[in-house]
Structure 1
Amino acid sequence: MKKWLAAVVLWSLGGLGLAQTVTVGLDADPPNLDPLLSSALVDRQVQNQIYDKLVDLDENLRIVPMLATSWRVEEDGKVYVFNLRQGVKFHDGTDFNAEAVKFNLDRYRSAPGSRRSGELSLITNVQVVNPYTVRVTLREPFAPFLAILSDRSGMMVSPTAVQKLGAEFGNNPVGTGPFKFVERRRQDRIVLARNENYWQRGFPRIEQLIYRPFPDDDVRVANLLSGAVSIITPVAAKDLATIRNNPNLTVNNFPGIGYQGIWLNHTKGPFTNKALRQAFAATIDRDVVDRVVFLGTALPSNGPFPPGTLAYDKTIPVPRRDLALARQKLAEGGRPQGFSFTLTIAPGPVLAQLAQVYQAMAAEAGIQVRIEQVEFGTLLDRAAKLELEAVAVGWSGRPDPDGNIYDFVRCKAPNNYSGYCNPRVDNLLNRARTVRLPEARRDLYSQITKIIQEDLPYIYVYHPQTTIGVSRRLSGLPVIPDGILRFRGVSLGGQ
């Protein structure tokens, strides 16, 4: 009897047994479910189901109400007053109110190890005006503020749970979102259950949401083809045709707002030498990367801002492969015969293929690339500690350009995996945050892009598309350009 029950549980958890269960295949196990400490896209896929935010994004990347029903901007952009949704409770029964918002914003600003501190560094005061009104004062006008609150800095966690659990909160997350955390088995699954008391009446529509990590693209797509999962993201370019040709499946793909490339460590190893950074960068052929690895579905990059976004500057050329320049820079750097370094990547066949392409390109200039594969969470931890010579980590992108650059190339920024520090860049970044006119902001970001193309804390290689493989039984999934799947309104055929 016990064996039979165990089999039924495993069957249903795999997404095959319960009509109201949706199982999602991800490309990695989310490293951290606490927004305070999170720095990975895959974290956000799960966090967006557990936590509501003050504001959200719609299909056109416009800011829309969520836990904040409305807001007004005062004092020339230095004060934001938020009116909050009433009658909302966290999963543990704690009331959501102005005190909870103050707790969260203050925590993100000042808690040790916070990955949100840079995003919210211009906040000088969070004031509770009344139980459902919060007044946030900024040091100076801050154009990206609402966009930042549409992501992890706007996610509201239960103050009661944080105070009770401390450092263990990330293992037992509590929000106000449409799904409640049930359990986690590292490298195997994260199980969420419907929040029966969700503030939006009639939602969510499914009973259970399960996330399974499949770093291997072949395994991920095989689970979709078999019906063991209802949806996977991302889809490898080689698998797009297979999914499209299956009558039970479909592909959602659309331009993303992020980038992919390589961090170069400025604090130790060969890349303390600027000429050697430039030599390696000159070996990369972005068009070949697009054709060979992504079958024409990626877009070669000239910097952190993809086409179609506010800060994109089409007058800045995409760097071209130039082996003569690479050899010239090797000589300038005192290594005319070349040098060697280790490129660290996360598991996965596409990442491995990509690293091998970089390796082959660099070898033509006499640069020897050793490839090291490390579990994704460990990779992020080591990268943050500046332990890696070079690391292939990208960014999923944000609706405001500040979110694609500020916490990455600023001196001592939390996501600066190169150790890069240029006071001129910092000054331009800070100015771009305070300017309201889009044309003026675009000019500042263009100046920054040209400087970092020269200094090379990061080699921007390509802008990926967002690709999602979906069972045709699943409906109600919105397509948001930030690439985050939102399951609040999703249902399965037959329900």
Structure 2
Amino acid sequence: MRRWGSPAVSALIVAGLMAVACAQGTGGSATLRVGLDADPPNMDPHRSTAAVDRQVYQNLFDKLVDTDENLQIVPMLASAWTISADGKTVTLTLRQGVKFHDGTPFNAEAVKYNFDRMQDPNFPSARRSEVLPVQKVAVVDPYTVALSLEKPYSPLLYVLTDRAGMMVSPAEARKAGTNFALHPVGTGPFSFMEKIPQDHITLVRNPDYWVKGQPYLDRIIYRPFPNDNARVANVKSGDIDIINIVPLAQIKGLSQEAKQPGARFKLIEHGAFRWQGIWLNVTKPPFDNKLLRQAFNAAIDRDAMANVVLQGAAYPAYSFFPNGTPAHDPDWKVPRRNVALAKEKLQAAGRPNGFEVTLLVDPTLEGQSIAQATQAMASEAGIQMKIQIVEFGTLLHETDTLAHQAAVLGWSGRPDPDFDIYPFVTQSGIGSFNNAGYTNPRVQTLLDAARLLNDMNQRRRAYREVTQILADDLPYIWLYFPKEYKMMSMRVQGFIHVPDGMMRFRTVRLGQ
């Protein structure tokens, strides 16, 4: 999620000076300078749980398959694939002549190694649940692999368009072990040069990339700007070329500014899968009590969040599935605020005077504005919230280990609905994505069954029932579906937006 930080002016000045220094020291006509909302905490795609990591991965690692701007699965490291009639064998034909950045050949043995690594119980993999349905990876020949499944798994190809499909160098991974993130090696259009924590990540052009003539850039420099004002200001000043997150509360003003003669930036609106909310820990007080979760939920005004706090740059949310996604249910109604109901739930829980809870949030303006609005709304029902601002990496650690009570977080979304819901509410997701610690046998059964179905209408019925259960159990409080924007310098050319929100730069050129 995006949240507020310390006083914006001083942070803005410091961040701006840092960006200027970077531009003077490393800039060039073919250096793209990217502003991120947080410092990517983990450069190993098989261990990562942060969305911001994926922004860097898109240009460092290739995937077995990818999605295009129309959400169609397209070849990448796998040039073709077939699925058996029973749905239990997926055969991948691999692209030949591809090498990892360290010179290691990409082939079927490399693919098998990557699956073994993700499934290794002795390796701290965050991808294990995603590839769990793959029981065996057989090397058919040097450039063909067969993935054997115990039962059909309809989301598999879409799973391979993300981190589970990102291939790491077996040679480097074996050598580095759990330290692979210190020097990640993939096959992507850019290779890793350095990471200075909380300052920058530098990627350089891969001269041997398998797409002839690409990439066009010489290097990419990523810089973290947790402060929303600083991130935006550095695009306006020309010190940053593109940012991944545009503060929703500033969209209206930025849209008007971008239309003015002589504007130095452009603002592009596009489709997205994201949702934003409050993740409740149902394994410890106070939110191990469902009545208290229901009281908290009833106190929240989602319309005010979307239309007042965020000035119309979002839609009120009610589930994991935003408008335009395959599992979206247009008949589902957004919960309305009901303070009287919240107080009834508190009374029923034996807490007529309310309760206290700590809400974790990272240092972005959007997140803190949401946290403060939530705090004010909850207080009217007798729920006292303490807002605790922590760095994004700390926030992930606290939620992954279920050390939190409540946290402001979001999800970037995926093309297939399975991964927008399954890891968040099933046993296999605890410790990685199920930061609520929530389980429900009926939910597990429904979602397991949905994975076997190719018909989206049938899957949608399962997701509808799960959504009804979750609307009562409330391990998560869905607040809003953000509209998605990209803000970039006028000199950025050839950028292709894909609805997953990840910035792919192999087609980008820089003008004057």
**TM-score for the superposition, normalised by structure 1:** 0.96
CA contact (8 A) 2:130 2:164 kept: yes
Question: Secondary structure, in 3 states, of the residue corresponding to 2:427?
Answer: coil
Q: Aligned pair 1:67/2:83, yes or no?
A: no
2:398 & 2:506 partners in 1: Cα distance?
35
User: Residue in 1 aligned with 2:326?
Assistant: 310
CA deviation digits over 1:238-261, x for unaligned, max 9?
433335245221011223112110
1:282 to 298, 314, 326: 298
1:447 to 465, 480, 488: 465
1:321 & 1:263 partners in 2: Cα distance?
18
C-alpha distance 16-288 of structure 1, shift in aligned 2 (>3 A): farther
User: Residue in 2 aligned with 1:45?
Assistant: 55
Q: CA deviation at 1:122?
A: 0.7
User: Residue in 1 aligned with 2:264?
Assistant: 248
CA deviation digits over 1:193-250, x for unaligned, max 9?
0001101010000101010000001101111111111011211134333352452210
Q: For the aligned residues, what is the CA RMSD?
A: 1.5
User: Residue in 2 aligned with 1:469?
Assistant: 487
User: Residue in 2 aligned with 1:423?
Assistant: 441
User: Residue in 2 aligned with 1:292?
Assistant: 308
CA contact (8 A) 2:249 2:366 kept: no
The 5 A counterparts of 1:45-444 are 45-111=55-121, 112-240=123-251, 241-242=253-254, 243-245=257-259, 247-413=263-429, 414-444=432-462
C-alpha distance 393-23 of structure 1, shift in aligned 2 (>3 A): same
2:20 & 2:293 partners in 1: Cα distance?
50
| Partner amino acid, structure 2, of 1:65 | P
Question: Secondary structure, in 3 states, of the residue corresponding to 2:83?
Answer: strand
| Partner amino acid, structure 2, of 1:113 | P
Question: Secondary structure, in 3 states, of the residue corresponding to 1:397?
Answer: coil
The alignment-based identity, stated in percent, is 49
Which consecutive residues of structure 1, in runs of 5 or more, have no partner in the other structure? 1-6
Which consecutive residues of structure 2, in runs of 5 or more, have no partner in the other structure? 1-16
Relative to structure 2, which stretch is displaced further, 313-322 or 205-214? 313-322
1:200 & 1:375 partners in 2: Cα distance?
38
C-alpha distance 12-197 of structure 1, shift in aligned 2 (>3 A): farther
User: Residue in 2 aligned with 1:3?
Assistant: none
Q: Aligned pair 1:25/2:43, yes or no?
A: no
Q: CA deviation at 1:412?
A: 4.4
C-alpha distance 323-15 of structure 1, shift in aligned 2 (>3 A): farther
CA contact (8 A) 1:287 1:300 kept: yes
2:185 & 2:415 partners in 1: Cα distance?
26
Relative to structure 2, which stretch is displaced further, 113-122 or 127-136? 113-122
| Partner amino acid, structure 2, of 1:128 | V
Question: Secondary structure, in 3 states, of the residue corresponding to 1:211?
Answer: strand
CA contact (8 A) 1:68 1:85 kept: yes
CA contact (8 A) 1:304 1:405 kept: yes
1:432 & 1:17 partners in 2: Cα distance?
49
Relative to structure 2, which stretch is displaced further, 57-66 or 287-296? 287-296
Question: Secondary structure, in 3 states, of the residue corresponding to 2:130?
Answer: coil
C-alpha distance 227-174 of structure 1, shift in aligned 2 (>3 A): same
2:170 & 2:309 partners in 1: Cα distance?
45
Question: Secondary structure, in 3 states, of the residue corresponding to 1:394?
Answer: strand
Q: CA deviation at 1:12?
A: 6.0
1:14 & 1:276 partners in 2: Cα distance?
54
